[in-house]
Amino acid sequence: MILATVWRALRRGSAVGACGAALLLAACATPAPTTLIDGAPYWSGRLALTVDSDPPQSFSAGFDLRGTPQTGELQLNSPLGTALATVRWTPEGAELLQGDTITRRPTLDTLTTELGGQALPVAALFAWLRGHGAEINGWQADLSRQASGRIVARRTQPLPTAELRIVLQP
């Protein structure tokens, strides 16, 4: 998973680690996206990820997410609001930016697989944020509190299992 890989990389001091660590924290919120001037959906909040590895791993960060599964941007922020990393994707490719370092790959799936060992379920994430159940192999989302801005997604396969908590900000 990209977040687990990012966390491992952060421990090694790499760009990928900062990216993952920034994807997670906990707060309060409203589930509806804010609409940007250009009409693109926008969400802001905090994420927390726990990976049941040996040893167990957990991390959190603030996030700003814009766009769609096809074209978008995810900015990861420290608890103080400092940008740690940005991931951008289009049908033409994807890139991870951290400081002066840019990692480019032909697709978001390729980038997230390289960083985390498997593709991040981006299409499902956008569906979950909108309150729609989306089936994805190995992942199950609890949307029972989505109306109050809280989503919990659990990965059971492949191992190790993981839990992603998202709390949207109003």
Alpha-carbon distance of 146 to 128, in angstroms, equals 8
What is the per-residue pLDDT for 57?
82
What does 2-55 look like in DSSP terms, one character per residue? HHHHHHHHHHHT-HHHHHHHHT-------SSPEEPTTS-EEEEEEEEEEE--SS
Judge if pTM exceeds 0.85.
Answer: no
Alpha-carbon distance of 84 to 27, in angstroms, equals 19
Q: Do 66 and 92 touch, CB atoms closer than 8 A?
A: no
Cis upstream peptide for 158 (omega within 30°): yes
What is the per-residue pLDDT for 118?
67
**Residue 100 pLDDT more than 70?**
yes
Domain of 123, in residue numbers: 2-168
CATH assignment at residue 67: 2.50.20
* Number of domain units in the chain: 1
